[in-house]
């Protein structure tokens, strides 16, 4: 018979049998063996051995979550140092259904033990529990009903998913009834893409709702800034996703999915040349940009406008990254950081060039 998985169970004062709101202020305490829903889990999941239950009051956790979670981590670490055979591989928290304080505590405890102690963790929450939005990315959350009526299903599934985590198996939200981490993950499908496309189309043509493999994201919209009133007084900057960098690519910006942007001086330069600058963008033919980098970063024209007095001046720093296959999330972050730096140095307008 395989060894049972040593498991710690986390519950609040109510499910731990200490009492209701009057006991909501109690600090985390350790009890050997299962309590409350833990007895249900132990009965239904023979591979799990609940070696202890941590019970804490909802208010105690909510009032100072970080410190309270640190206390729980400390409790487990202390057990580890005194008992050589104390080797928990899994922590299960809840189910907490739609209870706000309890849900936050469950999710925070899961996040902490997996990150700090290397113990797998899962909780069970209703999808509208406020903890879901905050913790879904790092924490494995099994779907639960909104109230305790769904205890048996949620506890059983939480135990099953927990064992899968310990076994290193992939959790598939649609199959395992978990809340997705909001991440896209590759896998090898049974049929090639063309065949899946035709099957999907036949269903759609027959009137069934297609089960898309990628639901359309909703794009954020950025309202344009108001027009610059007096260009002759304005400081302009150049920003490009076209990959124009000083020759040699000092920041080693990648040719695709760039992990950074660079800030480079234009001081003393009247125009760029193939000797001073180059393109590192991997998404377009760089021949012409390398021949004359002003084609992508139009310094030559900006200097003309500056001399003619049509703009106040050109900011002496330009920013560059590579837009090729760079994820929208990264691009947003670079945009926000570049904008903050530009505002800091008093830039009023930017010419953005893409490729």
Partner 1 sequence: MTLTLHKHIVNQVKLGEQTGINQGCLSLDAAALARTLQEQDHRLARIRVRLALPGEATRILCVKDVVQPRAKAVGTEPGTGVLCVLENVAIATCGPIVGFQEGIIDMSGPGAAYTPFSRLPLIVLEIDVHEPLDPHAHEEALREAGTRAAKFVAQSCLDSVPDQTEEVLWDEVPCAPSLPRIGYVYIVLSQGLLHDTYVLGRNAQEGLPISVDPRIVLDNGVLSGNCVSACDKNTTFHHQNNPVIAELLSGHGTRWNFTGVVITNEPTRLAEKQLSAAAAVEKIIQMKSSGVIISKEGFGNPDADLMMIVRDLEQAGIKTVAITDEFAGSDGASQSLADTTPEADALVSTGNANERVELPAMATTIGPLPDVSRLAGGYPHSLRDDGSMEVELQAIIGATNQLGYSHLSCREA
- Contact set with partner 1 (CB under 8 A): 137, 170-174, 180-198, 200-202, 204-206, 210, 212-214, 216-217, 219, 249, 252, 254-257, 259, 281-288, 323-330
Least CB distance from residue 254 to partner 1, whole Å?
5
User: In terms of CB distance, is 198 or 343 closer to partner 1?
Assistant: 198
Cα–Cα distance measured from residue 182 to residue 195, given in angstroms and rounded to the nearest whole number: 27
Min dist CB 243 to partner 1, Å, is 10
- Residue 259's closest CA among 326, 160, 329, 171? 326
* Least Å from the CB of residue 211 to partner 1: 8
Nearer to partner 1, 75 or 258 (CB): 258
Nearer to partner 1, 206 or 230 (CB): 206
DSSP per-residue codes, 27-85: PPEEEES--THHHHHHHH-TTEEEEEEEEE-HHHHHHTHHHHHHHHHHHHHHHHHH-TT
d(CA 296, CA 323): 13
Residue 220 or 346: the one with the smaller Cβ distance to partner 1 is 220
How far apart, in whole angstroms, are the C-alpha atoms of residue 352 and residue 289?
16
Nearer CB in complex with partner 1: 303/330: 330
CB 236, CB 311: distance < 8 Å:
yes
> Shortest Cβ distance from residue 331 to partner 1 (Å)?
9
The nearest distance, CB 253 to partner 1, in angstroms, is 8
- Closest Cα partner for 271 from 308, 239, 296? 296
163 Cβ partners below 8 Å, 6+ apart?
5, 45, 47, 48, 90
Q: How far is the CB of 220 from partner 1 (least distance, A)?
A: 9
- Sign of the dihedral through C-alpha 194, 199, 202, 207: negative
Nearest CB to partner 1, comparing residues 59 and 290: 290
Instruction: Report the residue number, 226 or 248, with the smaller CB distance to partner 1.
Output: 248
Is the distance from CB of 113 to CB of 143 less than 8 angstroms? no
DSSP codes of every residue in 197-214: HHHHHHHHHTTPPP--SS
Distance of CA 302 to the CA centre of its chain: 39
Q: State in angstroms the smallest separation of the CB of 320 from partner 1.
A: 15
């Amino acid at each position: 018979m395989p060894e049972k998985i040593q498991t710690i169970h986390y519950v609040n004062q109510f499910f731990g049998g200490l009492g209701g709101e009057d006991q909501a202020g109690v600090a985390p305490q350790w009890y050997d063996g299962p309590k409350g829903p833990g007895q249900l889990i132990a009965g239904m999941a023979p591979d799990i051995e609940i070696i202890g239950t941590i019970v804490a009051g909802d208010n105690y956790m909510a009032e100072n979550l970080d410190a309270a979670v640190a206390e729980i981590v400390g409790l487990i670490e202390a057990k580890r140092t005194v008992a050589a055979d104390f080797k928990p591989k899994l922590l299960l928290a809840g189910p907490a259904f739609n209870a706000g304080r309890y849900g936050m505590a469950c999710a925070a405890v899961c996040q902490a033990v997996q990150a700090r102690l290397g113990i797998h963790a899962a909780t069970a929450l209703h999808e509208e529990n406020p903890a879901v939005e905050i913790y879904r990315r790092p924490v494995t959350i099994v779907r639960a009903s909104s109230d305790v009526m769904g205890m048996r299903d949620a506890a059983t599934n939480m135990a099953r998913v927990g064992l899968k985590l310990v076994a290193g198996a992939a959790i598939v939200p649609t199959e395992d009834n978990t809340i997705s981490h909001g991440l896209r993950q590759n896998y090898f499908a049974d049929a090639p893409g063309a065949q899946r496309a035709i099957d999907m189309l036949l269903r759609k043509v027959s009137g069934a709702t297609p089960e898309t493999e990628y639901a359309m994201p909703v794009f954020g919209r950025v309202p344009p800034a108001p027009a610059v009133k007096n260009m002759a007084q304005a400081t302009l900057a150049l920003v490009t996703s076209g990959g124009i960098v000083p020759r040699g690519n000092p920041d080693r910006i990648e040719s695709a999915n760039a992990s950074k942007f660079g800030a480079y001086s234009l001081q003393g330069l009247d125009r760029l040349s193939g000797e001073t600058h180059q393109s590192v963008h991997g998404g377009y033919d760089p021949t012409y940009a390398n021949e004359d980098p002003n084609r992508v970063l139009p310094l030559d024209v900006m200097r003309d406008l500056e001399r003619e007095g049509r703009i106040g001046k050109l900011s002496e720093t330009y920013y560059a990254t590579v837009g090729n296959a760079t994820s929208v999330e990264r691009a947003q972050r670079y945009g926000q950081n570049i904008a903050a730096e530009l505002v800091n140095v008093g830039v009023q307008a930017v010419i953005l060039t893409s490729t």
